[in-house]
Structure 1
Amino acid sequence: MPAGGRPTVRSRRLGTALRQYRLAAKLDQPHAAEVIASSQARVSRLESGHVTARVIEVRLLLDAYGVKDAEVCTKLEELAKHSKNRGWWLEHAAHLRPDYVDHIALEDDATYIREWQPALVPGLLQTPAYAEAITRGSPNYIEPDRVTQLLKVREGRQAKIEEGGATYSAILWESVLAQPLVSADVHQGQLAAILETGKRKNVTVQVLPFSAGVLGAVTSAFSTFSFDSEPVVEAVTLENLRGASVLEAPEDLAAYANMYDQLRSSALAPDASAKLIRDILRRLKEDAS
Protein backbone atom coordinates (compact mmCIF):
# COMPACT_ATOMS: atom_id res chain seq x y z
CA MET A 1 0.00 0.00 0.00
CA PRO A 2 1.29 3.51 -0.71
CA ALA A 3 2.79 5.27 2.30
CA GLY A 4 0.22 6.75 4.64
CA GLY A 5 -2.64 4.72 3.14
CA ARG A 6 -3.34 7.37 0.49
CA PRO A 7 -2.61 7.11 -3.22
CA THR A 8 0.72 8.57 -4.25
CA VAL A 9 1.03 10.32 -7.57
CA ARG A 10 3.15 7.42 -8.83
CA SER A 11 0.67 4.72 -7.81
CA ARG A 12 -2.17 6.84 -9.17
CA ARG A 13 -0.42 7.39 -12.51
CA LEU A 14 0.17 3.66 -12.82
CA GLY A 15 -3.43 2.83 -11.90
CA THR A 16 -4.85 5.38 -14.32
CA ALA A 17 -2.78 3.97 -17.17
CA LEU A 18 -3.83 0.39 -16.39
CA ARG A 19 -7.48 1.43 -16.33
CA GLN A 20 -7.19 3.27 -19.67
CA TYR A 21 -5.59 0.26 -21.36
CA ARG A 22 -8.22 -2.07 -19.88
CA LEU A 23 -11.05 0.09 -21.19
CA ALA A 24 -9.37 0.36 -24.58
CA ALA A 25 -9.26 -3.44 -24.70
CA LYS A 26 -12.99 -3.49 -23.78
CA LEU A 27 -12.41 -5.72 -20.77
CA ASP A 28 -14.05 -5.43 -17.35
CA GLN A 29 -12.50 -5.62 -13.91
CA PRO A 30 -13.58 -9.23 -13.26
CA HIS A 31 -11.65 -10.28 -16.38
CA ALA A 32 -8.58 -8.35 -15.18
CA ALA A 33 -8.89 -10.05 -11.80
CA GLU A 34 -8.76 -13.46 -13.48
CA VAL A 35 -5.61 -12.45 -15.36
CA ILE A 36 -3.72 -11.74 -12.13
CA ALA A 37 -5.51 -14.49 -10.14
CA SER A 38 -6.89 -11.99 -7.68
CA SER A 39 -10.13 -10.23 -6.79
CA GLN A 40 -12.08 -7.49 -8.51
CA ALA A 41 -11.57 -5.42 -5.37
CA ARG A 42 -7.80 -5.57 -5.83
CA VAL A 43 -8.08 -4.50 -9.48
CA SER A 44 -10.23 -1.58 -8.39
CA ARG A 45 -7.67 -0.54 -5.78
CA LEU A 46 -4.85 -0.95 -8.28
CA GLU A 47 -6.61 1.34 -10.73
CA SER A 48 -7.38 3.95 -8.06
CA GLY A 49 -3.77 3.92 -6.84
CA HIS A 50 -4.65 2.81 -3.32
CA VAL A 51 -2.59 -0.34 -3.92
CA THR A 52 0.58 -0.50 -5.98
CA ALA A 53 0.69 -3.15 -8.69
CA ARG A 54 3.54 -5.65 -8.63
CA VAL A 55 5.72 -5.81 -11.74
CA ILE A 56 4.41 -9.27 -12.66
CA GLU A 57 0.84 -7.97 -12.40
CA VAL A 58 1.67 -5.08 -14.71
CA ARG A 59 3.19 -7.47 -17.27
CA LEU A 60 0.23 -9.85 -17.15
CA LEU A 61 -2.34 -7.08 -17.43
CA LEU A 62 -0.60 -5.27 -20.29
CA ASP A 63 -0.28 -8.56 -22.17
CA ALA A 64 -3.99 -9.27 -21.65
CA TYR A 65 -4.82 -5.75 -22.82
CA GLY A 66 -2.79 -6.20 -26.00
CA VAL A 67 -0.23 -3.52 -25.16
CA LYS A 68 2.87 -4.34 -27.18
CA ASP A 69 4.75 -1.03 -27.11
CA ALA A 70 8.02 -1.87 -25.32
CA GLU A 71 8.55 1.72 -24.18
CA VAL A 72 5.09 1.87 -22.58
CA CYS A 73 5.58 -1.49 -20.89
CA THR A 74 8.98 -0.50 -19.50
CA LYS A 75 7.65 2.83 -18.25
CA LEU A 76 4.79 1.23 -16.33
CA GLU A 77 6.98 -1.53 -14.94
CA GLU A 78 9.39 1.14 -13.67
CA LEU A 79 6.50 2.94 -11.99
CA ALA A 80 5.58 -0.31 -10.26
CA LYS A 81 9.18 -0.86 -9.14
CA HIS A 82 9.69 2.63 -7.75
CA SER A 83 6.23 3.71 -6.60
CA LYS A 84 7.10 2.88 -2.98
CA ASN A 85 10.58 4.40 -3.05
CA ARG A 86 11.17 7.10 -0.47
CA GLY A 87 11.85 10.42 -2.15
CA TRP A 88 14.47 12.78 -0.76
CA TRP A 89 11.68 15.14 0.34
CA LEU A 90 10.03 12.65 2.70
CA GLU A 91 12.51 13.45 5.45
CA HIS A 92 10.70 16.81 5.55
CA ALA A 93 7.23 15.29 5.22
CA ALA A 94 6.12 16.38 8.68
CA HIS A 95 6.43 19.99 7.54
CA LEU A 96 4.75 19.53 4.13
CA ARG A 97 1.14 19.40 3.01
CA PRO A 98 0.19 16.18 1.17
CA ASP A 99 -0.61 18.14 -2.00
CA TYR A 100 2.87 19.72 -1.91
CA VAL A 101 4.40 16.25 -1.59
CA ASP A 102 2.45 15.21 -4.71
CA HIS A 103 3.77 18.23 -6.60
CA ILE A 104 7.36 17.48 -5.63
CA ALA A 105 6.98 13.82 -6.64
CA LEU A 106 5.76 14.91 -10.07
CA GLU A 107 8.74 17.26 -10.44
CA ASP A 108 11.12 14.52 -9.37
CA ASP A 109 9.81 12.09 -12.01
CA ALA A 110 9.35 14.59 -14.83
CA THR A 111 11.46 14.92 -17.95
CA TYR A 112 9.70 18.16 -18.95
CA ILE A 113 8.34 20.75 -16.51
CA ARG A 114 6.45 23.81 -17.74
CA GLU A 115 5.11 26.55 -15.51
CA TRP A 116 2.95 29.64 -15.85
CA GLN A 117 3.10 32.12 -12.99
CA PRO A 118 1.20 35.44 -13.00
CA ALA A 119 1.89 36.47 -9.41
CA LEU A 120 5.14 35.10 -7.96
CA VAL A 121 8.49 33.87 -9.20
CA PRO A 122 8.15 30.07 -9.60
CA GLY A 123 9.68 28.02 -6.83
CA LEU A 124 12.22 26.43 -9.17
CA LEU A 125 13.62 29.91 -9.94
CA GLN A 126 13.46 31.47 -6.47
CA THR A 127 16.53 32.64 -4.61
CA PRO A 128 16.73 31.68 -0.91
CA ALA A 129 16.14 35.31 0.08
CA TYR A 130 13.06 35.64 -2.13
CA ALA A 131 11.69 32.28 -0.96
CA GLU A 132 12.15 33.25 2.68
CA ALA A 133 10.55 36.66 2.18
CA ILE A 134 7.38 35.33 0.55
CA THR A 135 7.14 32.42 2.98
CA ARG A 136 7.41 34.67 6.01
CA GLY A 137 5.03 37.13 4.34
CA SER A 138 2.32 34.52 3.97
CA PRO A 139 -1.03 35.52 5.52
CA ASN A 140 -0.95 32.19 7.38
CA TYR A 141 1.53 32.15 10.24
CA ILE A 142 4.34 29.68 9.66
CA GLU A 143 6.54 28.67 12.57
CA PRO A 144 10.25 29.55 12.16
CA ASP A 145 11.34 25.89 12.22
CA ARG A 146 8.90 25.08 9.43
CA VAL A 147 10.14 28.03 7.36
CA THR A 148 13.65 26.60 7.59
CA GLN A 149 12.41 23.19 6.44
CA LEU A 150 10.45 24.69 3.56
CA LEU A 151 13.55 26.53 2.35
CA LYS A 152 15.54 23.29 2.41
CA VAL A 153 12.83 21.61 0.36
CA ARG A 154 12.87 24.48 -2.15
CA GLU A 155 16.61 24.03 -2.51
CA GLY A 156 16.17 20.29 -3.02
CA ARG A 157 13.59 20.86 -5.74
CA GLN A 158 15.92 23.21 -7.61
CA ALA A 159 18.69 20.59 -7.69
CA LYS A 160 16.69 18.72 -10.35
CA ILE A 161 17.03 21.69 -12.71
CA GLU A 162 20.60 22.56 -11.74
CA GLU A 163 21.71 19.00 -12.50
CA GLY A 164 19.95 18.97 -15.88
CA GLY A 165 17.51 16.28 -14.79
CA ALA A 166 14.60 17.87 -16.63
CA THR A 167 13.90 20.40 -19.36
CA TYR A 168 12.30 23.36 -17.62
CA SER A 169 10.28 26.17 -19.19
CA ALA A 170 8.71 29.04 -17.28
CA ILE A 171 6.47 31.87 -18.44
CA LEU A 172 6.12 34.82 -16.07
CA TRP A 173 3.67 37.68 -16.36
CA GLU A 174 5.48 41.01 -16.55
CA SER A 175 3.91 42.10 -13.25
CA VAL A 176 5.96 39.44 -11.42
CA LEU A 177 9.10 41.28 -12.52
CA ALA A 178 8.00 44.91 -12.61
CA GLN A 179 6.01 45.08 -9.36
CA PRO A 180 8.18 43.90 -6.44
CA LEU A 181 6.42 42.06 -3.61
CA VAL A 182 9.60 41.89 -1.53
CA SER A 183 12.30 44.37 -0.57
CA ALA A 184 14.21 46.12 -3.36
CA ASP A 185 17.49 44.32 -2.78
CA VAL A 186 15.84 40.90 -2.59
CA HIS A 187 13.86 41.60 -5.76
CA GLN A 188 16.93 42.79 -7.65
CA GLY A 189 18.85 39.71 -6.58
CA GLN A 190 15.94 37.57 -7.75
CA LEU A 191 15.88 39.18 -11.21
CA ALA A 192 19.62 38.68 -11.58
CA ALA A 193 19.21 35.02 -10.60
CA ILE A 194 16.47 34.49 -13.20
CA LEU A 195 18.78 35.88 -15.89
CA GLU A 196 21.57 33.56 -14.78
CA THR A 197 19.38 30.45 -14.57
CA GLY A 198 17.89 31.27 -17.97
CA LYS A 199 21.34 30.71 -19.51
CA ARG A 200 21.20 27.00 -18.72
CA LYS A 201 20.73 24.74 -21.75
CA ASN A 202 17.78 22.95 -20.12
CA VAL A 203 16.00 26.15 -19.03
CA THR A 204 13.80 28.56 -20.99
CA VAL A 205 12.35 31.69 -19.41
CA GLN A 206 9.78 33.83 -21.19
CA VAL A 207 7.85 36.90 -20.13
CA LEU A 208 4.24 37.56 -21.02
CA PRO A 209 4.17 41.37 -21.47
CA PHE A 210 1.37 43.65 -20.36
CA SER A 211 0.76 44.33 -24.05
CA ALA A 212 -0.54 40.76 -24.44
CA GLY A 213 -3.79 41.97 -22.92
CA VAL A 214 -6.07 40.09 -20.54
CA LEU A 215 -4.51 36.64 -21.04
CA GLY A 216 -2.24 37.01 -18.02
CA ALA A 217 -5.03 38.25 -15.76
CA VAL A 218 -7.52 35.47 -16.44
CA THR A 219 -5.19 32.47 -16.20
CA SER A 220 -4.19 31.26 -12.73
CA ALA A 221 -0.83 29.63 -11.99
CA PHE A 222 -0.29 26.06 -13.14
CA SER A 223 2.45 23.55 -13.90
CA THR A 224 2.48 20.74 -16.44
CA PHE A 225 4.59 17.58 -16.32
CA SER A 226 5.76 15.08 -18.92
CA PHE A 227 7.52 11.83 -18.11
CA ASP A 228 8.81 10.56 -21.48
CA SER A 229 11.19 11.68 -24.19
CA GLU A 230 8.47 13.86 -25.73
CA PRO A 231 6.78 16.78 -23.91
CA VAL A 232 3.28 15.29 -23.91
CA VAL A 233 1.43 16.64 -20.86
CA GLU A 234 0.65 13.78 -18.46
CA ALA A 235 -0.16 15.68 -15.26
CA VAL A 236 -1.06 19.22 -14.23
CA THR A 237 -0.98 20.94 -10.85
CA LEU A 238 -3.07 24.02 -10.07
CA GLU A 239 -2.37 26.44 -7.26
CA ASN A 240 -5.31 27.49 -5.12
CA LEU A 241 -6.11 28.95 -1.71
CA ARG A 242 -5.94 25.55 -0.01
CA GLY A 243 -2.79 24.34 -1.74
CA ALA A 244 -2.52 22.54 -5.05
CA SER A 245 -4.68 20.14 -7.04
CA VAL A 246 -3.41 17.44 -9.40
CA LEU A 247 -5.30 16.98 -12.68
CA GLU A 248 -4.92 13.81 -14.74
CA ALA A 249 -8.11 13.52 -16.81
CA PRO A 250 -7.36 13.60 -20.56
CA GLU A 251 -9.65 16.57 -21.20
CA ASP A 252 -7.95 18.58 -18.43
CA LEU A 253 -4.48 17.74 -19.72
CA ALA A 254 -5.45 18.81 -23.24
CA ALA A 255 -6.96 22.08 -21.98
CA TYR A 256 -3.86 23.10 -20.03
CA ALA A 257 -1.46 22.00 -22.76
CA ASN A 258 -3.40 24.24 -25.12
CA MET A 259 -3.39 27.12 -22.62
CA TYR A 260 0.37 26.85 -22.16
CA ASP A 261 0.82 26.98 -25.94
CA GLN A 262 -1.32 30.12 -26.06
CA LEU A 263 0.72 31.76 -23.32
CA ARG A 264 4.01 30.76 -24.97
CA SER A 265 2.96 32.12 -28.37
CA SER A 266 1.89 35.43 -26.77
CA ALA A 267 5.04 35.73 -24.63
CA LEU A 268 8.25 37.39 -25.69
CA ALA A 269 10.95 35.13 -27.12
CA PRO A 270 13.62 34.07 -24.59
CA ASP A 271 16.18 36.64 -25.79
CA ALA A 272 13.62 39.45 -25.78
CA SER A 273 12.43 38.29 -22.36
CA ALA A 274 15.98 38.46 -20.99
CA LYS A 275 16.36 41.96 -22.38
CA LEU A 276 13.12 43.06 -20.70
CA ILE A 277 14.31 41.62 -17.37
CA ARG A 278 17.66 43.42 -17.74
CA ASP A 279 15.84 46.68 -18.51
CA ILE A 280 13.58 46.31 -15.47
CA LEU A 281 16.57 45.47 -13.27
CA ARG A 282 18.45 48.53 -14.53
CA ARG A 283 15.49 50.83 -13.84
CA LEU A 284 15.07 49.42 -10.34
CA LYS A 285 18.74 50.05 -9.59
CA GLU A 286 18.49 53.59 -10.93
CA ASP A 287 15.43 54.28 -8.81
CA ALA A 288 17.21 52.97 -5.74
CA SER A 289 20.30 55.12 -6.28
Structure 2
Amino acid sequence: MRRQLRKLRERNNITQSAASRIAETSPQSYGRLEDGRRTKVTDLALNALANAYGASDSERRLLLGLAQEIRAASASGSGWWRSYADAIAQGFDHYLALEEAANWVTSWQTAVVPGLLQTREYRRALTWAASPKRSSEEVERILDVVMPRQGLLDREGYRFEALLSEAVLRYCVGGPAVMADQIRRLLERSEDRGVEIRIVPATTQYPVGLIAGSFVLFSFPPLPTSRLQEPPAAYKEILAGDLYMERDIEVARFSEKARQIRHVALSGAESGPALSSPLPNGTPS
Protein backbone atom coordinates (compact mmCIF):
# COMPACT_ATOMS: atom_id res chain seq x y z
CA MET A 1 0.00 0.00 0.00
CA ARG A 2 2.88 2.34 0.80
CA ARG A 3 4.06 2.18 -2.81
CA GLN A 4 0.63 2.90 -4.23
CA LEU A 5 0.10 5.85 -1.89
CA ARG A 6 3.44 7.40 -2.66
CA LYS A 7 3.00 6.90 -6.40
CA LEU A 8 -0.37 8.69 -6.37
CA ARG A 9 0.85 11.49 -4.11
CA GLU A 10 3.98 12.21 -6.09
CA ARG A 11 2.05 12.12 -9.36
CA ASN A 12 0.02 15.05 -8.05
CA ASN A 13 2.97 16.92 -6.50
CA ILE A 14 1.36 16.79 -3.05
CA THR A 15 3.64 16.89 0.00
CA GLN A 16 3.36 14.39 2.85
CA SER A 17 2.38 17.25 5.14
CA ALA A 18 -0.54 18.19 2.88
CA ALA A 19 -1.50 14.52 2.55
CA SER A 20 -1.64 14.15 6.32
CA ARG A 21 -4.12 17.04 6.51
CA ILE A 22 -6.29 15.39 3.85
CA ALA A 23 -6.27 12.11 5.81
CA GLU A 24 -6.86 14.04 9.06
CA THR A 25 -3.86 12.47 10.73
CA SER A 26 -0.47 13.67 11.92
CA PRO A 27 2.45 14.06 9.52
CA GLN A 28 4.27 11.40 11.55
CA SER A 29 1.41 8.91 11.14
CA TYR A 30 1.18 9.55 7.42
CA GLY A 31 4.94 9.18 7.11
CA ARG A 32 4.74 5.78 8.82
CA LEU A 33 2.03 4.82 6.35
CA GLU A 34 4.25 5.54 3.35
CA ASP A 35 7.23 3.93 5.07
CA GLY A 36 5.26 0.69 5.32
CA ARG A 37 5.22 0.71 9.11
CA ARG A 38 2.18 -0.34 11.06
CA THR A 39 -0.26 2.49 11.65
CA LYS A 40 -4.03 2.79 11.83
CA VAL A 41 -5.74 4.12 8.72
CA THR A 42 -9.46 4.01 7.93
CA ASP A 43 -11.10 3.42 4.57
CA LEU A 44 -12.63 6.87 4.96
CA ALA A 45 -9.15 8.42 5.11
CA LEU A 46 -7.98 6.34 2.15
CA ASN A 47 -10.98 7.42 0.10
CA ALA A 48 -10.25 11.05 0.95
CA LEU A 49 -6.67 10.58 -0.23
CA ALA A 50 -7.84 8.83 -3.39
CA ASN A 51 -10.14 11.78 -4.13
CA ALA A 52 -7.34 14.30 -3.59
CA TYR A 53 -4.95 12.26 -5.72
CA GLY A 54 -7.42 11.94 -8.59
CA ALA A 55 -7.20 8.16 -8.41
CA SER A 56 -8.99 6.09 -11.03
CA ASP A 57 -11.57 3.51 -9.97
CA SER A 58 -9.04 0.69 -10.32
CA GLU A 59 -6.39 2.62 -8.36
CA ARG A 60 -8.91 3.32 -5.59
CA ARG A 61 -9.98 -0.32 -5.42
CA LEU A 62 -6.35 -1.45 -5.34
CA LEU A 63 -5.60 0.94 -2.48
CA LEU A 64 -8.58 -0.23 -0.44
CA GLY A 65 -7.87 -3.86 -1.28
CA LEU A 66 -4.28 -3.55 -0.07
CA ALA A 67 -5.48 -2.00 3.18
CA GLN A 68 -7.87 -4.92 3.66
CA GLU A 69 -5.02 -7.38 3.04
CA ILE A 70 -2.83 -5.63 5.60
CA ARG A 71 -5.56 -5.86 8.23
CA ALA A 72 -6.12 -9.54 7.46
CA ALA A 73 -2.39 -10.25 7.60
CA SER A 74 -2.13 -8.49 10.93
CA ALA A 75 -4.98 -10.54 12.34
CA SER A 76 -3.47 -13.80 11.09
CA GLY A 77 -0.03 -13.10 12.49
CA SER A 78 1.78 -12.23 9.27
CA GLY A 79 4.47 -9.63 9.66
CA TRP A 80 5.64 -11.54 12.75
CA TRP A 81 9.10 -9.94 12.45
CA ARG A 82 7.81 -6.48 13.40
CA SER A 83 8.08 -7.31 17.10
CA TYR A 84 11.80 -7.99 16.58
CA ALA A 85 12.64 -4.55 15.23
CA ASP A 86 15.64 -4.29 17.54
CA ALA A 87 17.26 -7.29 15.86
CA ILE A 88 16.57 -6.30 12.24
CA ALA A 89 18.67 -3.86 10.23
CA GLN A 90 16.92 -0.58 9.52
CA GLY A 91 14.71 -0.92 6.46
CA PHE A 92 14.97 -4.71 6.30
CA ASP A 93 11.44 -5.09 7.65
CA HIS A 94 10.20 -3.60 4.37
CA TYR A 95 12.18 -6.21 2.45
CA LEU A 96 10.64 -8.98 4.57
CA ALA A 97 7.17 -7.60 3.91
CA LEU A 98 7.76 -7.62 0.14
CA GLU A 99 9.21 -11.12 0.31
CA GLU A 100 6.18 -12.43 2.18
CA ALA A 101 3.61 -10.67 0.00
CA ALA A 102 5.19 -11.88 -3.25
CA ASN A 103 4.43 -15.12 -5.05
CA TRP A 104 7.45 -14.98 -7.39
CA VAL A 105 10.90 -13.77 -6.34
CA THR A 106 13.91 -13.62 -8.65
CA SER A 107 17.26 -13.11 -6.89
CA TRP A 108 20.44 -12.46 -8.89
CA GLN A 109 23.51 -12.67 -6.66
CA THR A 110 27.15 -12.14 -7.58
CA ALA A 111 28.79 -12.86 -4.21
CA VAL A 112 26.55 -14.47 -1.56
CA VAL A 113 23.83 -17.10 -1.35
CA PRO A 114 20.32 -15.55 -1.16
CA GLY A 115 18.85 -15.39 2.33
CA LEU A 116 16.05 -17.86 1.60
CA LEU A 117 18.66 -20.52 0.76
CA GLN A 118 21.28 -19.87 3.45
CA THR A 119 22.18 -22.31 6.20
CA ARG A 120 22.27 -20.91 9.72
CA GLU A 121 26.06 -21.25 9.92
CA TYR A 122 26.55 -19.46 6.60
CA ARG A 123 24.29 -16.64 7.75
CA ARG A 124 26.14 -16.49 11.07
CA ALA A 125 29.46 -16.03 9.25
CA LEU A 126 28.01 -13.20 7.15
CA THR A 127 26.52 -11.54 10.23
CA TRP A 128 29.83 -11.65 12.09
CA ALA A 129 31.62 -10.21 9.05
CA ALA A 130 29.13 -7.36 8.75
CA SER A 131 29.00 -6.61 12.50
CA PRO A 132 32.12 -7.99 14.22
CA LYS A 133 31.43 -6.08 17.44
CA ARG A 134 28.04 -7.68 18.08
CA SER A 135 27.75 -10.03 21.02
CA SER A 136 27.02 -13.71 20.50
CA GLU A 137 23.55 -13.17 21.99
CA GLU A 138 22.77 -10.39 19.50
CA VAL A 139 23.92 -12.51 16.57
CA GLU A 140 21.80 -15.47 17.66
CA ARG A 141 18.76 -13.21 18.04
CA ILE A 142 19.25 -11.93 14.51
CA LEU A 143 19.45 -15.50 13.23
CA ASP A 144 16.33 -16.47 15.17
CA VAL A 145 14.46 -13.69 13.35
CA VAL A 146 15.69 -14.00 9.78
CA MET A 147 15.97 -17.77 9.39
CA PRO A 148 12.26 -18.68 9.88
CA ARG A 149 11.39 -16.73 6.72
CA GLN A 150 12.73 -19.70 4.73
CA GLY A 151 9.40 -21.39 5.34
CA LEU A 152 8.12 -19.31 2.43
CA LEU A 153 9.78 -21.79 0.10
CA ASP A 154 7.31 -24.44 1.27
CA ARG A 155 4.26 -22.25 0.71
CA GLU A 156 1.92 -23.43 -2.01
CA GLY A 157 2.30 -21.36 -5.16
CA TYR A 158 5.48 -19.59 -4.01
CA ARG A 159 8.19 -19.49 -6.67
CA PHE A 160 11.81 -18.63 -5.95
CA GLU A 161 14.29 -18.24 -8.77
CA ALA A 162 17.95 -18.00 -7.71
CA LEU A 163 20.37 -16.87 -10.41
CA LEU A 164 23.87 -17.22 -8.96
CA SER A 165 27.26 -16.21 -10.24
CA GLU A 166 29.73 -19.07 -10.00
CA ALA A 167 31.69 -16.84 -7.62
CA VAL A 168 28.95 -17.40 -5.02
CA LEU A 169 30.05 -21.05 -4.86
CA ARG A 170 33.75 -20.22 -4.70
CA TYR A 171 33.83 -17.77 -1.80
CA CYS A 172 34.68 -19.82 1.29
CA VAL A 173 32.28 -18.11 3.69
CA GLY A 174 32.76 -19.41 7.24
CA GLY A 175 35.33 -22.02 6.19
CA PRO A 176 35.26 -25.26 4.15
CA ALA A 177 32.81 -27.13 6.38
CA VAL A 178 30.29 -24.27 6.38
CA MET A 179 30.51 -23.95 2.60
CA ALA A 180 30.17 -27.72 2.11
CA ASP A 181 26.94 -27.69 4.16
CA GLN A 182 25.74 -24.62 2.30
CA ILE A 183 26.22 -26.19 -1.10
CA ARG A 184 24.47 -29.34 0.10
CA ARG A 185 21.55 -27.09 1.09
CA LEU A 186 21.50 -25.62 -2.42
CA LEU A 187 21.43 -29.09 -3.93
CA GLU A 188 18.60 -30.15 -1.64
CA ARG A 189 16.53 -27.04 -2.30
CA SER A 190 17.09 -27.30 -6.05
CA GLU A 191 14.93 -30.44 -5.92
CA ASP A 192 12.00 -28.58 -4.36
CA ARG A 193 9.00 -27.68 -6.46
CA GLY A 194 8.88 -23.94 -6.88
CA VAL A 195 12.63 -23.44 -6.36
CA GLU A 196 14.93 -23.02 -9.35
CA ILE A 197 18.68 -22.52 -8.96
CA ARG A 198 20.70 -21.60 -12.04
CA ILE A 199 24.42 -20.89 -12.16
CA VAL A 200 26.11 -18.32 -14.42
CA PRO A 201 29.54 -19.82 -15.15
CA ALA A 202 32.67 -17.71 -14.76
CA THR A 203 33.53 -18.51 -18.37
CA THR A 204 30.58 -16.59 -19.78
CA GLN A 205 31.65 -14.02 -22.34
CA TYR A 206 28.60 -11.82 -21.75
CA PRO A 207 29.05 -10.36 -18.23
CA VAL A 208 25.75 -8.49 -18.10
CA GLY A 209 25.12 -9.73 -14.57
CA LEU A 210 28.40 -8.36 -13.24
CA ILE A 211 27.62 -4.98 -14.73
CA ALA A 212 24.11 -4.93 -13.25
CA GLY A 213 25.23 -6.09 -9.79
CA SER A 214 23.09 -8.11 -7.42
CA PHE A 215 19.35 -7.36 -7.24
CA VAL A 216 16.00 -8.92 -6.34
CA LEU A 217 12.70 -8.73 -8.22
CA PHE A 218 9.31 -9.20 -6.52
CA SER A 219 6.07 -10.06 -8.31
CA PHE A 220 2.76 -10.23 -6.46
CA PRO A 221 -0.40 -12.32 -6.82
CA PRO A 222 -3.83 -10.78 -7.50
CA LEU A 223 -5.65 -9.60 -4.39
CA PRO A 224 -8.17 -12.24 -3.24
CA THR A 225 -11.25 -10.02 -3.34
CA SER A 226 -10.73 -7.44 -6.08
CA ARG A 227 -8.32 -9.57 -8.16
CA LEU A 228 -6.37 -6.39 -8.84
CA GLN A 229 -2.60 -6.73 -9.08
CA GLU A 230 -0.02 -4.71 -7.21
CA PRO A 231 2.84 -3.72 -9.56
CA PRO A 232 6.21 -5.51 -9.22
CA ALA A 233 9.15 -4.05 -7.32
CA ALA A 234 12.93 -4.31 -7.43
CA TYR A 235 15.48 -4.16 -4.64
CA LYS A 236 19.20 -3.45 -4.66
CA GLU A 237 21.49 -3.42 -1.64
CA ILE A 238 24.38 -0.97 -1.57
CA LEU A 239 26.81 0.00 1.18
CA ALA A 240 25.10 3.37 1.68
CA GLY A 241 21.67 1.81 2.18
CA ASP A 242 18.85 -0.17 0.56
CA LEU A 243 17.28 0.93 -2.72
CA TYR A 244 13.70 0.01 -3.57
CA MET A 245 12.70 0.63 -7.19
CA GLU A 246 8.97 0.88 -7.79
CA ARG A 247 8.45 3.01 -10.88
CA ASP A 248 7.50 1.00 -13.96
CA ILE A 249 10.51 2.18 -15.97
CA GLU A 250 12.91 1.26 -13.16
CA VAL A 251 11.48 -2.21 -12.58
CA ALA A 252 11.42 -2.85 -16.34
CA ARG A 253 15.17 -2.29 -16.51
CA PHE A 254 15.81 -4.91 -13.84
CA SER A 255 13.35 -7.32 -15.46
CA GLU A 256 15.27 -6.99 -18.72
CA LYS A 257 18.58 -7.61 -16.93
CA ALA A 258 17.10 -10.75 -15.35
CA ARG A 259 16.03 -11.93 -18.81
CA GLN A 260 19.56 -11.39 -20.13
CA ILE A 261 21.12 -13.20 -17.17
CA ARG A 262 18.81 -16.19 -17.70
CA HIS A 263 20.06 -16.30 -21.29
CA VAL A 264 23.67 -16.93 -20.19
CA ALA A 265 22.89 -19.06 -17.11
CA LEU A 266 23.06 -22.82 -17.10
CA SER A 267 19.74 -24.59 -17.00
CA GLY A 268 18.50 -26.02 -13.73
CA ALA A 269 19.59 -29.51 -14.82
CA GLU A 270 23.03 -28.26 -15.89
CA SER A 271 23.47 -26.31 -12.65
CA GLY A 272 23.26 -29.46 -10.52
CA PRO A 273 26.70 -30.76 -11.59
CA ALA A 274 28.12 -27.25 -11.16
CA LEU A 275 26.91 -27.27 -7.57
CA SER A 276 28.29 -30.78 -7.02
CA SER A 277 31.80 -30.00 -8.24
CA PRO A 278 34.58 -29.77 -5.63
CA LEU A 279 35.39 -26.43 -4.10
CA PRO A 280 38.75 -24.83 -4.94
CA ASN A 281 40.21 -25.79 -1.55
CA GLY A 282 39.58 -29.43 -2.27
CA THR A 283 36.60 -29.84 0.01
CA PRO A 284 33.89 -31.77 -1.85
CA SER A 285 30.45 -30.20 -1.87
Between the aligned partners of 2:168 and 2:109, the Cα distance in structure 1 is 8
What is aligned with 2:71? Answer: 81
Deviations 1:195-246 (A, max 9, x none): 1111111111111111223334323221111122599862222111144222
Kindly indicate whether residue 187 of structure 2 is the aligned counterpart of residue 195 of structure 1: yes
What is aligned with 1:225? Answer: 218
Q: 1:251 to 1:47 in 2, by over 3 A?
A: farther
Kindly indicate whether residue 178 of structure 2 is the aligned counterpart of residue 173 of structure 1: no
Between the aligned partners of 1:52 and 1:234, the Cα distance in structure 2 is 25
Q: Map of 1:35-114 to 2, 5 A cutoff?
A: 45=30, 49=34, 53-58=41-46, 65-68=55-58, 72=62, 75-79=65-69, 81=71, 87-114=79-106
TM-score after normalising by structure 1: 0.76
Contact 1:195 1:274 in 2 (8 A): yes
Q: 1:139 to 1:123 in 2, by over 3 A?
A: same
Kindly indicate whether residue 121 of structure 2 is the aligned counterpart of residue 125 of structure 1: no
TM-score after normalising by structure 2: 0.77
Between the aligned partners of 1:47 and 1:284, the Cα distance in structure 2 is 46
Between the aligned partners of 1:285 and 1:28, the Cα distance in structure 2 is 55
Q: 1:274 to 1:210 in 2, by over 3 A?
A: same
Contact 1:167 1:202 in 2 (8 A): yes
Between the aligned partners of 1:69 and 1:151, the Cα distance in structure 2 is 38
Between the aligned partners of 1:101 and 1:228, the Cα distance in structure 2 is 20
- RMSD over aligned Cα, in angstroms? 3.7
Q: 1:69 to 1:106 in 2, by over 3 A?
A: closer
Identical columns (%):
23
Between the aligned partners of 1:71 and 1:65, the Cα distance in structure 2 is 9
Q: Which one is further off, 233-242 or 141-150? A: 233-242
Secondary structure at the residue paired with 1:287?
coil
What is aligned with 1:287? Answer: 282
Q: 1:145 to 1:110 in 2, by over 3 A?
A: same
Q: 1:234 to 1:52 in 2, by over 3 A?
A: farther
Shift of 1:168: 0.8
Q: 1:204 to 1:74 in 2, by over 3 A?
A: farther
Q: Map of 1:120-269 to 2, 5 A cutoff?
A: 120-138=112-130, 140-164=132-156, 166-213=158-205, 214-229=207-222, 234-269=232-267
Shift of 1:162: 2.6
Q: 1:18 to 1:78 in 2, by over 3 A?
A: farther
Unmatched tracts of structure 2, length 5 or more: 223-227
Greater helix content: 1
Shift of 1:62: 5.9
Contact 2:102 2:219 in 1 (8 A): yes
Shift of 1:275: 2.1
Q: Which residue identity is paired with 1:150?
A: I
Shift of 1:191: 0.8
Shift of 1:18: 4.2
Contact 1:111 1:226 in 2 (8 A): yes
Between the aligned partners of 1:117 and 1:177, the Cα distance in structure 2 is 11
Between the aligned partners of 1:41 and 1:70, the Cα distance in structure 2 is 22
Secondary structure at the residue paired with 2:163?
strand
